[in-house]
Amino acid sequence: MRRTLTPVIVLAIFGLLVGGLFHYAVDDSSEASVEHYVLSAVDGAAIALIVWTTHLYLTAHGGWLRRLPLMAELVVRSVIMALVVAIAAVVLEVVLYRHGLETKWVRDTFLKIIGVGLLLSIPVTAIYELVRMIGGRTLLNVVLGRYRQPVREQRVLLFLDLVGSTTLAEAMGELRVQELLTRFFSDIDAPIVAHGGEVHAYVGDEVIVTWPAGTGEPTRRYLDCVFAIEDRLAKRADYYRKEFGVAPAFRAGMHAGPVVVAECGDSRRQIAYFGDTVNVTARLQAHCKEAGRPLLISRELLRLLPSEPDFAIEPLGATQLRGRAAPIDIFAVARRASC
């Protein structure tokens, strides 16, 4: 809920400020009353939220847009945004000021509103895309310069990959498998975001998800995220069978512990995670096949769960993971069968 409300609140405040400044810069000095400033501020906030809603709609339902060449996509988006701002401006002018459209307003103010709305949509869209690319918390830390020097953090990591992708590539061809992976990653994104996770990277047929592992109350959201992904894929199984001839399944490993986070690279900078926690999580995910279990977790992750998490947790004992000298205690996790 907070992830939904935060941008709405920020944009509403931003729109209020822009609306007030627009009234100060454009409108006649004879209208410099508190009432007109308030109405202009409300007007600005409403347009900002309408533009934001349109952007979210195009992002969620504009698959056809993303298939266009980049320049064509930008032109179409701009035309749609211009139409939305124009309609919103006209409706708000009538509703807020309770009079018909005056010739002076159409001639002097209307086009300026459209121009300012489109101009301000550029940084808002850019910030939104950056958040989608690297995550809100990571973006904030990058802006603040937190990762210019290596930082040690406590993290929960999830490594989750598509089962049988190599076999699928042989049967379907690499292009079709890539289409399947693109759909798969898109479908599992909503459960990840809903449970507070951030996608760190997509590596081949694998996604790496991370959460800050704070010192707060125990939470089951990490495992709930995995089972929400399972539910999402089950709900979409018929679509996958119809489109690709197979319903995707996954294997997942989860671990918690210290990681070193730092900015890496020069021509293309990115945030990278280092340390034993990353290696153990990757080994856990790889061990799922050998153990015959779709979800394995470590004792360190188990300690972060509530004392009665309402899951079927099966101890598999101290296990020597491939490429690691010291064994670790691992557990297979599944949902309890409903009576």
Q: How far is CA 201 from the centre of its chain?
A: 12
**DSSP for residue 55:** H
Give me the residue label for tokens 């996958």: 240
Three-state SS letters, 217-241: CCCCHHHHHHHHHHHHHHHCHHHHH
Task: Identify whether the C-beta of residue 110 lies closer than 8 Å to the C-beta of residue 85.
Answer: no
Query: Whole-prediction pTM value?
Result: 0.74
Confidence at residue 31, expressed as pLDDT on a 0 to 100 scale: 64
Take residue 105 and report the two structure tokens written for it. 């307003």
Cα–Cα dist 142/133, whole Å: 13
Nearest Cα residue to 50 out of 6, 101, 78, 11:
11
Cα–Cα dist 91/111, whole Å: 15
Nearest Cα residue to 324 out of 292, 294, 293, 279:
279
Q: Which CATH class is domain 148-335?
A: alpha beta
Nearest Cα residue to 161 out of 129, 198, 205:
205
Q: Where in the chain is the domain with CATH 3.30.70.1230?
A: 148-335
pLDDT tens, position by position, for the chain (339 residues)?
455 677 788 878 888 888 888 777 776 666 667 887 888 888 888 888 888 888 778 877 777 777 777 677 777 877 788 888 888 888 888 888 776 677 777 777 787 877 777 777 777 666 766 776 666 777 777 778 888 889 999 999 999 999 988 888 888 888 888 999 999 998 999 899 889 898 888 888 899 999 988 667 788 899 999 999 999 999 999 999 999 999 999 999 999 999 999 888 777 777 889 999 999 999 999 999 988 999 999 999 999 988 776 788 899 988 878 777 788 899 999 987 654
Take residue 236 and report the two structure tokens written for it. 């979409």
Angle, CA 10 vertex, CA 76 and CA 27 arms, to 5°: 75
